[in-house]
Amino acid sequence: MENAMRDIRTRSVRSASNPMFEGVRVEKVTLNIGVGEGGDKLQKGATLLNALAGQTVYMAKALKRTTFGTPRGRPIGAKVTLRGAKAEEFIKLALRSKDNKIPEKAFDSTGNLSFGVAEHIDLPGVRYDPKIGVFGMDVCITLGRPGYRVKKKARPTRVGKTHLLTREDAMEFMRKKFGAELV
């Protein structure tokens, strides 16, 4: 009896009239190039990200001494965050480089996904520049629903269980919105 009541409440909360359940959307796309060392190679990677995204690049620093001997606080990677229309355009570009195929293991339990692009020249419209070279990158896509940002407000609260994204929700969103094929 209790389970039946909970199912009825869940269905009524998820009704179409509730704006908090309008659907899944792309919150952000994070592009990351990790080179493991500072210097010229890192600068070339940052230049590439700047050219791809058209935004300022953040230099990621080593949090602790790595097994390769990089001291703490030294820059080891570059990353940039895309939001809105830029994020969706880059997702389309990255999926075309992967033949619109995403492995199912790329999705996590909270509805986010990550995959790698082996060489940046695989992206459609990007040409090889001998001054930069060839870099691989990680593409991390964060999905959410309206109301997810309550975790970051002045009085943060939890997102309710019925409002959380699942792995299946994210897979269905990528199929419908971007025409991705799951392998």
Indicate the domain borders of the chain: 23-182
Mean pLDDT computed over 145-159: 68
pLDDT at 102: 87
pLDDT at 16: 55
75 Cβ contact list (under 8 Å, min separation 6): 38, 42, 59, 60, 61, 62
pLDDT at 96: 86
Question: 23-182 — its CATH code?
Answer: 3.30.1440.10
d(CA 166, CA 145): 11
Least confident of 36-40, 63-67, 132-136: 63-67
Residue appearing with tokens 């940002």:
149
Strands 75-82 and 181-182: unpaired
pLDDT in tens, 100-145: 888 888 888 888 899 888 877 777 777 787 777 788 888 899 988 8
Most confident range, picked from 6-20, 57-71, 76-90, 128-142: 76-90
Query: pLDDT over 70 for what percent of the chain?
Result: 75
The per-residue pLDDT of the chain, averaged, comes to 78
